[in-house]
Structure 1
């Protein structure tokens, strides 16, 4: 693949060309030249777009696509196409499929479905067989097949000894273990944050205590085992405090937050819109403020879209019975820029790569072209036409966002938004 990017501002603090407006020549998938002005005698494809900015390729640590088993929600092929069009050169895919991805053959199947895509698929294997939290899955075999981590998506590990053994075993081959932060006996049948709003709406509440007890337990287990732990999608102020204190002890620990838990609060549920039914639930403004501060000071390592397509039959039902989840790949950049500067938003979107085995991609001559193309200034109201996923269950519908993506150049391919 050959291309010439014209008049692009580079946003990459690791690059010698940071904040410079330049042309970028790409030959055979590698950056051949970066200069103020580059001619095009070989008539390569020229990419010239309004207010074009270029950064290292972005990464999302938690996406769900559905395939195999839930192709009506999303396929791997279309999911990766959407990810690429909206700036992501790599995504970590959860194991919440049917059957659950819990063997090396399942990992191989997922990777085979990703062949030829511009966006890299990094499969996450289930931590336990069939994600039933009883017996450990084939962790070592899945790691050898290409799994980047192990996680029973949004299913808490009830048995602390099971998590202890998982951390100890996975440490033998540098395996990353994920543990969903929820104590199920406390959360019970709660469908939203337990608060005055849940009482007003007559909906069962899921208290912050359910998350914080589980986080505290997992941190004790991590300190005991010395393993490698990632706590995905925290949602409370106390969770931020607990993780900040644990990091001060130099534990091998990272965590993430879903972008919608930074943007919205439980007041959004007043109209019983099931698009806002997410897990963990939307909390209070105090929680959102603490999470934003955690992102700013580095306590929270990654912000994820927690992209989870749900078909209309499982969303357009009574709130109590609706499935949890929102799509988010299409809105991640615009949402982040509503909260942070462009420099910070790009930093967030490129963090977490090494934790999930994704190669870093500094913008320099001779490097593989692994680039995200975007315009940070475009302002718009996010609508259903912006959702390119098969399922349309977006929590951001009707929200004012800032910044649009043009696509990516990666894996010797160009994937531009339509």
Structure 2
């Protein structure tokens, strides 16, 4: 597929082309020419889109789909198409299928099944067998099959010795450990943030201490063992400070924040709508503002949708029985645009590639063509009809968003919204 993208504004703070309007000529998946007024040639298709902006491809560091095992929630094929239409050239896939991705064969299945998609899967292998926190998995074999990191999705390792061993073991092959941080004893039977709203609603609360205490422990382990640790979806002000201090000490730690934690608070829970039941729980506005500050000052390295499709049978229940999770790919860019500067959004949606060791081609002549196409202008309301995912459990339904992703060019394929 040979293409010429016309009048595209490049958004890339590290490039001399940043904020310049250019044409981009792509031939057989390689950027052949970048310049002004590139003439249309035989065998080329011209792509002209309103207010077209292009950046290096976005990467989501935490995506759940469903297949294998939970295809009623989402399939690999449809989930990857949703990611492409949402502007993501790459996703890190959590090991939450059935069976859980914990062996070389599991990773190979995911890589093979998705090899022809435009959006590329980067599997996360389970850190412990069956994600039960007791025995570490065959991480080296999974790394050889294509796994980019190891963690148990939304499950904290209560046994400090297990996490210590994992951090030591992966250093032999430069592996990355994902340490979801929540003290389950402190959490207890809590289901929402512990505070004024939980008291008013009569719901059992989860104090910020549950997250912060576990982060302190995990950072101490990292300081002792060395290695690399990624702490996903931080949700409190003190968590951000703890990680900032750890970075200042020289620890190799990174972290992410979920989009819903940047935009929503526990005040949304007043109607007991289970779309807002997520893990970690939504916090008060003081915590939300601290997370935004952490993004802006660079303490929080990357932003994730933490996309987690849940079937209606497990979401349309009493609040305490419903599963945690919201989908977030389709609303990701438009939601962030209501809150953060465009250059920060693009940077934080790309930064996790370096953390996870993923190729990140430049937008330059001779480079592999891999980029996101989007329009940062235009306000709109996110409706159910905008959801392409099989599951519809979005916390952003009815929200006013700004700007839309057109799609991506990646793996030699162009995927655009109709």
TM band (smaller chain): over 0.9
Contact 1:12 1:362 in 2 (8 A): no
Match of 1:81 in 2: 81
TM-score (norm 2): 0.99
Deviation at 1:345, TM superposition (A): 1.1
- 8 A contact 1:118–1:415 mirrored in 2: yes
Rounded Cα–Cα distance in structure 1 between residues aligned with 2:83 and 2:47: 19
Q: Which runs of 5+ in 1 are unaligned?
A: none
Tell me which residue corresponds to 1:289. Answer: 289
Instruction: Flag as ranges the 4+ runs of structure 1 deviating above 3 A.
Output: none
Establish whether residue 221 from structure 1 lines up as the match of residue 226 from structure 2: no
In the alignment, what sits opposite 2:142?
A: 142
Q: Which moved more, 1:85-94 or 1:340-349?
A: 340-349
Are the aligned partners of 1:16 and 1:364 in contact in 2 as well (CA < 8 Å)? no
Q: CA deviation at 1:384?
A: 0.8
The answer for the alignment partner of 1:116 in structure 2 is: 116
**1:20 counterpart = 2:23:** no
Corresponding residue number in structure 1 for 2:207: 207
User: What is the CA deviation profile of residues 325-381 of structure 1, one whole-angstrom value per residue up to 9, with x for unaligned ones?
Assistant: 000011111111111111111111111102112111211101111010000012101
Offset, 1:97: 1.1
Q: C-alpha offsets along residues 146-204 of structure 1, whole Å, 9 cap, x if unaligned?
A: 00000100011010011001001111111100111100011011110011111111111
- Does the alignment pair 1:175 with 2:168? no
Task: Give the equivalent residue in structure 1 for 2:340.
Answer: 340
C-alpha separation between the residues in 2 aligned to 1:116 and 1:378? 33
1:90-128 alpha-carbon deviations (Å, 9 max, x no partner): 000000111110000000001111121111100000000
Whether the 8 Å contact between 1:14 and 1:362 is mirrored in structure 2 is no
Query: For residues 189-241 of structure 1, what are the alpha-carbon distances to aligned partners after superposition, in whole Å with 9 as ceiling and x for unaligned?
Result: 11100111111111111111100110000000000101210000010111011
Is the 2:73–2:309 Cα contact (8 Å) retained in structure 1? yes
> Contact 2:2 / 2:43 at 8 angstroms: preserved in 1?
no
Q: Distance in 2 between matches of 1:364 and 1:12?
A: 11
Unmatched segments (≥5 aa) in structure 2: none
Query: Which residue of structure 2 aligns with residue 165 of structure 1?
Result: 165
Query: Take 1:357 and 1:249, find their aligned partners in 2: how far apart are those partners?
Result: 23
Q: Secondary structure at the match of 1:117?
A: coil
Q: 1:14 Cα deviation (Å)?
A: 2.4
Q: For 2:97 and 2:135, how far apart are their aligned partners in 1?
A: 18
Do residues 52 (structure 1) and 62 (structure 2) align? no
> Match for residue 251 of structure 2?
251
Deviation at 1:19, TM superposition (A): 1.1
State how 1:402-417 maps to structure 2 within 5 Å. 402-417=402-417
* TM value normalised by structure 1: 0.99
Whether the 8 Å CA contact 2:85–2:416 is kept in 1: the answer is: yes
